[in-house]
Structure 1
């Protein structure tokens, strides 16, 4: 690997990725520009479709080259180009990725719209090179969530370790007065709004650390190399460092690269992730939730009454 680990390399991601060795990355996460006219300091986020998609195919192709044979690539993208990038990654690219998951990340504090419903979601693609051999740490406690069977119904048959989350991740701050909580079988991570303590202040599209924590925990192991071609605020790399992974990133903006580097220098391996931990073991409020033992009592009473009447 020509470029050293443990740093953010400033410059064009395509040119810098060419300086990385084949099969050198265990896990990659990319949150690229969505081509919706967002105002970055160095990048023009309003390209024509053909130019934007051609660029995406090129860096996605580089991502495929960089990943190890059992590596995983997570891609965050908006509605406008989700379908196109899915096709580019799995069909246009030869050889292409295999899609293992398509997660819908739902959040509040969405983008307010005047002539359409407020946007409050993004897409997260889980892509692998080998559809039968890849890292997926399903038994890691921080990845699992308590089930409705355990929390709502008190069913002793429920797995005490919890269950894997669904593929819709929900972020609703109103579910708790003091924090964002994981309830039942969905994920709650807040989009990092401008007023949040977690917000770094220099990048408007900052990802929440807890969301990246779930991805990095499930798709890599301690000591693995995590790569982000669009480092931005540095969240992917910060979480990788906290979770004791090696990390490397690229970033076009000189300012973003500098500020994110300062962020990385201020944290240490093993530091807790910012934002509320997930999952929490609080039970969702539901008038239809009935404890298993209460249901069994009612059923026994019903059967007894029916037997007497017969």
Structure 2
């Protein structure tokens, strides 16, 4: 298993990847909710010191965010093997935009699924329903089916796990870090050993850690230097845990 991680803009770094070389993309790009959340009546910022809405990287105007997602999907199509797959985590109110852009670049829309957090933050629990879900979209490239290691089991598009445990944040915190259990589900099901998996919005490196454990090759890209360093440390020490 090999891994390569880069600290830089994902579009610039993706342009260095050869055509038709990636089997699977699993990624969690900005949801374009920063300004939206700031204008809502929420106490989230008070409850968590690394609230994503205050991070700065999720504050693009919609048109700018849409252009960035279009460029990301254009590069993904170029480097994706025919029959490859992509999982994109996304806010439900942006799902239609991602589907439209992905289909424009040759991706076949399979489904929109839900990740249900078993222990969500109970913010505003006495005012309205607690937000305990996030959406994910599943596409294949240039075909209507791809690798699907379900082992004869029926796999639902509804996945339940706890949020990221403290043990997976020991190298540092990322405001939207996904748990390894969740990412493992997609990497195992949608790729085989030795496959090349890309996460162009790598964050703190969860996809890379999972790939290393499951014997997949990994390419990760992260713009923020502090998160890149967390990912680098996690990747270096994965497999060395007591």
Same fold (TM over 0.5): yes
Q: Which runs of 4+ in 1 moved over 4 A?
A: 113-116
SS in 1 for 2:167: coil
Query: C-alpha displacement at 1:165, in angstroms?
Result: 2.4
Aligned to 1:126, what secondary structure does the other structure show?
A: strand
Which of 188, 195, 203 pairs up with 1:224? Answer: 195
Q: Is the 8 A contact 1:228 1:250 kept in 2?
A: yes
| Alignment gaps of 5+ in structure 2 | 35-51
Contact map agreement 1:98 1:128 (CA 8 A) in 2 = yes
CA distance in 1, matches of 2:179, 2:191: 18
Q: Deviations over 1:211-265 (max 9, x none)?
A: 1111011111111111100110100010001001111110001111111101101
**What are the within-5 Å matches in structure 2 for residues 141-180 of structure 1?**
163-170=153-160
Among candidates 106, 109, 126, match of residue 99 of structure 1: 109
**Higher RCO, 1 vs 2 (CA within 8 Å, ≥6 residues apart):** 2
- Which of residues 141, 160, 182 is equivalent to 1:129? 141
**Contact in 1 for aligned 2:53/2:59 (Cα 8 Å):** no
1:258 maps to which residue?
A: 229
C-alpha contact (below 8 Å) 1:27/1:220 kept by paired residues? yes
How far apart, CA to CA, are the structure 2 residues paired with 1:238 and 1:40? 27
Offset of residue 132 of structure 1:
3.7
Contact in 2 for aligned 1:100/1:131 (Cα 8 Å): no
When residues 137 and 40 of structure 1 are mapped into structure 2, their CA distance, relative to the original with a 3 A threshold, is farther
Confirm or deny that 1:191 pairs with 2:163.
yes
The residue number in structure 1 matching 2:42 is none
Partners of 2:234 and 2:114 in 1: CA distance: 28
- Correspondence 1:73 to 2:86: yes
Deviation at 1:117, TM superposition (A): 2.6
The structure whose residues are more often helix, as a share, is 2
Distance 1:210 1:237 in 2: 13
User: Residues 17-51 of structure 1: CA distance to partner in whole angstroms, max 9, x if unpaired?
Assistant: 1111111101111100111222575x531111111
Q: Whose strand proportion is higher, 1 or 2?
A: 2
What count of residue pairs does the alignment treat as equivalent? 221
Secondary structure at 1:46 match in 2 = coil
In 1, Cα distance between equivalents of 2:102 and 2:57? 23
Partner of residue 204, structure 1? 175
Aligned ranges 1:32-47 → 2 under 5 Å: 32-37=29-34, 38-39=52-53, 43-47=56-60
Structure having the higher Rg:
1
